[in-house]
Amino acid sequence: MFGQKIKSLQADMLKKLDSVEALQTAVEKEDRGFTDDEKEQRTGIIADIKGLKDRITALEETEALVAEKAKPVDKSAGYTAAPAAPAPAAPAPAATGGVSAGSSSKDLSLFFAKQAHSLYINGGSRIAASEYAKDTLGDDMLAKTFRMPAHIVTRAAVDPGQSTVTGWAAELVQVNQAADAFIELLRPMSIVARFPARTMSFAGNGSIKIPRQSAGSTGTWVGENKAIKVDALALDEITLSPKKNANIITSSNELLMRSDPSAMALIRDDILKGIATSIDTTFVDATAGSATRPPGLQTFDGTPTASTGATLDQITADLKAAMNAMMAVNMPMAAPVWLMNPANVNTLRFIRDGLGTYAFKDELLSGTLMGYPVLESTVVPLDIVILADASQIIMATELAPEISISEDASLHMEDTAPADDIGGATTPVASMFQLDLVAIRAKTTLDWNARYDECVQVVTGVAW
C-alpha cells in the first residue's frame, strides 16, 4: 500500500547520508574541524535523516497494521508472516497421502509449495485440490484460491472489490500477502529481487509504456524587450511487456506426498533457487532484449571501462573510472549500486595499503563500496564489475510464481538449450513416470529496461 512511498523516502535518506558523508570526508581530508556554516549544514542534514527515518518507520508500521486488518477473513485458517529465516525442520512423519490439519504450516512463504503438494495429491485437479486443502490440510484460504481462475489468483484485488469481504476480494489480499512473503525470502538469493529499481506491476495489462525525454531544452540570456527562444522537447517512450520466465524442478513422489512443513520448505527453496538463478543470469548478461526476454544490464553501457590491474592503486582507479564515466553523462546517481561476484568482493576485503591496513574491509562489512551498496551474486562473471544507477532502471514484475505439476511429462534435461520438440531431443531425456518423479513448473512474468542509455558502467577484464 505504501511500498512506493517507503522506497522514495529511503532513496531521499540515501542522498542525505551521501551528503553528510561527503561533508565529513572533506573535513577529514583537510584535517580540520567544521566551520560554523558546515556545522549548521551538518545539523540540518542529520535532522532531515532522523525525520525521514521516523516517517519510514511510521509507514512500515501502518502497512503492517493494514495487512493485519485484511488478514483475518477466516480466523480458523489465518496465516502468519514468514519467518526471517527458515526455522529448523521438525522430525518428519512417515510418508502419507496427507496429514492432520494441525500439522499444516501456516507460514505464508509455503503457500506456493502447498499448491504444488495439493495438486500432486489430487492428480492436478484444482477442484479436488480445493477439497483436499480444506478437509485434510484445514486451509480454507488455499481451498478458495483453487476454485478461483488461475489468472485471477495472480492479480491484486482492484476496485470495486472489497478486500475485507469473504468470497469477493479478501482471498486475493491473502494471496498477495503470500506472494510478498515468498518474494521476501527470494531477496537474499536474487539480485533482481534486491535491486532498487523503480518497480511497478503489470496487473493484467498487456504492456506498460513509460515516456522519457530524449532531448531537453536550454535557457539563454535575454536582453530587455528581447524575445525568449522556444525549445521543443524531444520525447519517446520505452515499453515493458510481460515476458515469461519459467523453470522446472523435479521432486520425488515421496517428498511431494508429504504435507509437513519441513517437506514444504524443501520444495519452496527449490522453487526459489530456480527463479533466482534464471532471472539473475539474464539480468547481468550482455545480450540485447527481444520479444521473449529483457535486455542484460551490460547492453546499457556503450563503452565499457577496461581494468588497469590488480594493485590497490589500480583497483581504486578502476572504481573511480566507472563512477566518473557515469557522472560524465549526467546520471542523477540517485540509487547507484555495485554488482559483483562474491569472489571479487572477498579479494577486496584482503587488499592492504602501504601501512598494512585493510583498504576496503570495514566498508564492505557494512555492505558498501565507495559509499554505494554492493549486491553480490555468483551469476556476475568474475572478470567484470557493474555499476548501475538503479533509479534509471524501470522494472515491471510479478515475481510470485504460478505453479503447475506433472507426473507423466517427459523432459529434455538440458539447462541451456532444451529442444522444443521432445521427440527430436538429444540425451538426456527423462520420463517422470518411469523415474517416479514429479515435475514442478514455476512461471513468472517480468520485464525491465533503462530510461536512459549509459545508466550502467561496466569494468571489464577484472583480475582482482
Look up the pTM and report it. 0.64
In the chain the first and final C-alpha atoms are separated, in Å, by 43
DSSP state of 206: S
pLDDT at 165 over 60: no
Q: Which of 191, 196, 184 is CA-nearest to residue 15?
A: 196
> Using an 8 Å Cβ cutoff, are 299 and 286 in contact?
yes
How far, in Å, CA of 1 to CA of 327, rounded? 34
Mean pLDDT over 171-199 rounds to 77
What is the pLDDT confidence band of residue 106, given thresholds at 50, 70 and 90? Answer: low
Mean pLDDT, residues 187-197 taken together: 88
CA distance 399 to 188: 14
Spatial separation of the C-alpha atoms in residues 7 and 184, rounded to whole Å: 15
* Mean pLDDT, rounded, for 455-464: 95
How high is the pLDDT of residue 179? 72
> Could you report the per-residue pLDDT of 281-310, keeping only the tens digit for each?
999 999 999 999 999 999 999 889 999 999
pLDDT tens-digit map of 354-411: 999 999 999 999 999 999 999 999 999 999 999 999 999 999 887 778 888 888 888 8
Residue 135 has pLDDT above 80, yes or no: yes
- CA 216/CA 455 separation, integer angstroms: 17
User: pLDDT grade, residue 101 (50/70/90)?
Assistant: very low
Q: Using the predicted structure, report yes or no on whether residue 91 has a pLDDT greater than 80.
A: no
The span from the CA of 344 to the CA of 459, in Å, is 12
Task: Name the 3-class secondary structure at 463.
Answer: coil
Residues ≥6 apart with Cβ < 8 Å to 326: 333, 336, 387, 389, 454, 455, 457
Hey, what's the cell of 447?
520485464
Share of the chain above pLDDT 70, in %: 80
Beta strands in 119-242 (DSSP E): 198-200, 208-215, 234-240
Please say if the pLDDT value at position 18 is more than 90: no
pLDDT attached to residue 148: 66
Question: How does strand 208-215 pair with strand 234-240?
Answer: antiparallel
Between CA 160 and CA 361 the distance in angstroms is: 53
Which of 218, 211, 209, 282 has the alpha carbon at shortest distance from 244? 282
Residue 448 C-alpha from the chain's centroid: 12
Residue 189 has pLDDT above 90, yes or no: no
**Confidence check: pLDDT of 154 > 80:** no
Q: How confident is the model at residue 166 (pLDDT cuts 50, 70, 90)?
A: very low
Residue 162 scores a pLDDT above 70: no
Q: What is the DSSP string of 214-280?
A: EE--------TTPPPP-PPPEEEEEEE--EEEEEEEEEEHHHHH--SHHHHHHHHHHHHHHHHHHHH
Rounded Cα gap, residues 124 and 453, in angstroms: 46
User: Which residue has better confidence, 181 or 14?
Assistant: 14
| SS3 state of residue 352 | strand
**pLDDT reported for residue 97:** 39
The most distant pair of C-alpha atoms in the chain lies apart, rounded to whole Å, by: 91
Laid out side by side, the sheet with 372-376 consists of 305-306, 456-460, 385-389, 336-340, 372-376, 368-369
Write b or e for each residue in 211-245: b if 16 or more Cβ atoms lie within 10 A of its Cβ, otherwise e.
eeeeeeeeeeeeeeeeeeeeeeeeeeebebebbeb
| Predicted pLDDT of residue 238 | 84
Q: Which of 29-43, 106-120, 220-234 has the lowest mean pLDDT?
A: 220-234
Is the preceding omega at residue 428 within 30 degrees of 0, hence cis?
A: yes
314 to each of 48, 61, 351, how far by Cα in Å? 37, 46, 12
Contact between 422 and 439 under an 8 Å Cβ cutoff? The reply is no
Closest CA to 266 of 249, 246, 248, 245: 249
The per-residue pLDDT for 218 is 66
- Alpha-carbon span 293 to 291, nearest angstrom: 6
- Highest mean predicted confidence (pLDDT) among 102-106, 163-167, 425-429: 425-429
Alpha carbon distance 8, 5 (integer Å):
5
pLDDT at site 235 = 66
Contact 284, 298 (CB under 8 A): yes
Q: Strand, coil or helix: what is 174?
A: helix
Instruction: Give the mean pLDDT of the chain.
Output: 80
Residue 230's pLDDT is 74
The closest of 298, 369, 337, 265 to 11, measured between CA atoms, is 337
- What is the pLDDT averaged over residues 78-86? 47
d(C-alpha 136, C-alpha 259), whole Å: 10
Omega within 30 of 0 (cis) for the link into 160: yes
Share of the chain above pLDDT 90, in %: 28
